[in-house]
Amino acid sequence: MDVTSLPSSFERWTQRLVARFVGKVWYDTLLHGRIPERVPTIFVGLHRNGAIDGYVHLSALGGDILFLVAANLRRNPLTRLLAVGISVERAKDKRDRSNNPAAIDAAAHWVAAGGRLFVYPEGTSTLGPDVLPFHIGAARIVDRTLELGLIPKVVPVGIDYARPDMPGSLVDVSIGDIVDLDGIPDARSDRIAEIQRRITSSLFTLSYRFPDAATQDAVRYAAEIAAAGDRLKRLDLLRRAPPAVLPMRPRGSAFAMIAFGTGFVANLPLAIAIVLMPKLLADDRNVVALWQIVPTVLVAPVWLLLSGAVGLAVFGLLGLSIPVAQMLLGATALRAAAHAWPPVPPSGR
């Protein structure tokens, strides 16, 4: 796909289908705040957990949203089908970036025509203790949309995973205040700089920032245990930061362990792929979930079709219940995982 071409309506439909699975089955996602009515909108989001963030955000926000995606995801045959959007080259990938202005223009025209767009100003993701520098691309898209005669809604979107590499984990998506575009300078360079400043300020408001990784690990562990499933309490504890004493590690739920084990065994080849792929391909924790979900999305349909074919051949029509049972047990196992294995205390605690 050319960087400036738009994905087809079918591609965007499949993207929404995968997003529903990721946000509602793989993770337990909840939206906090109100989304503007479906008017021309540019969502600017915090980036924590690799390409999976896009699917979680899409699941939470709903509807037809076009994403800016890293071109390197389009070049990888395993992630190409999941990287739906307008491709842009990142500086860190050391590729020819001469087509990026055309991609920005295509994105602005999409919004000016009434569409909704999602941009990650950080350009890449991190599970570290602080946000990464915000690049100016989102501000350029906003500015170009203004040049086309339309004032878009610019909406900051936060995201926080209780445990990003654990299926069944809580994920909280937060909507911030719409970025005010009144009173921006007339000169283009000054205008873009001011838009960038306002976007940055809005995203800082939604972020959870810690002085170092050890503090983040301690606070996140304590917040999850102390909140005991209360999502708003967990987020409040993250905001207020460091607890004086870390709670003891809780025990996992026996029922959840049984549910997980049953689903694991019922889908053993797929489960093995989910375990092995991150070990082979993930180069950092923030892409572990990607390499767990890729084999699930790509291999699960084949696995269920084979199970159905074997069941049909051996048991007749009754055999078609086998893949249905496997699918239900697998979905239950994913949601049970976080309850079967509670968070591990930070090292040294």
Q: CA 316 from chain center: how many Å?
A: 41
Degrees to nearest 5, angle at CA 203 with 63 and 346 = 100
Confidence class of residue 249 from pLDDT cuts 50, 70 and 90? Answer: low
**Residue ranges of domains in the chain:** 9-206, 254-340
Phi, psi of 289 (to 5 degrees): -60, -40
Closest-CA residue to 31 (of 67, 66, 63): 63
**Do residues 159 and 48 lie in contact, with contact meaning Cβ atoms separated by under 8 Å?**
yes
Q: Which CATH class is domain 9-206?
A: alpha beta
Pairing mode of beta strands 66-70, 28-32: unpaired
pLDDT tens string 182-220: 999 989 999 999 999 999 999 999 999 999 998 899 889
**Do residues 129 and 210 lie in contact, with contact meaning Cβ atoms separated by under 8 Å?**
yes
Q: Which amino acid is at 322?
A: I
Listed in sequence order, the DSSP H helices in the chain are 9-21, 52-61, 71-75, 100-112, 137-147, 188-206, 213-227, 231-240, 254-266, 268-281, 288-315, 321-340
Q: Which residues touch 177 (CB under 8 Å, ≥6 apart)?
A: 156, 202, 205
Mean pLDDT of 7-23: 92
CA distances for 22 relative to 16, 149, 270, 286, 315, angstroms: 10, 36, 16, 15, 32
**Do residues 224 and 248 lie in contact, with contact meaning Cβ atoms separated by under 8 Å?**
no
Pairing mode of beta strands 153-161, 170-175: antiparallel
Confidence class of residue 2 from pLDDT cuts 50, 70 and 90? Answer: very low
Q: Is the pTM of the predicted complex or chain greater than 0.75?
A: yes
Distance CA 48, CA 31 (A): 16
CA distances for 86 relative to 2, 67, 104, 281, angstroms: 8, 6, 9, 25
Q: How many CB atoms lie within 10 A of CB 54?
A: 27
Among 13-27, 38-52, 228-242, 327-341, where is mean pLDDT lowest?
228-242
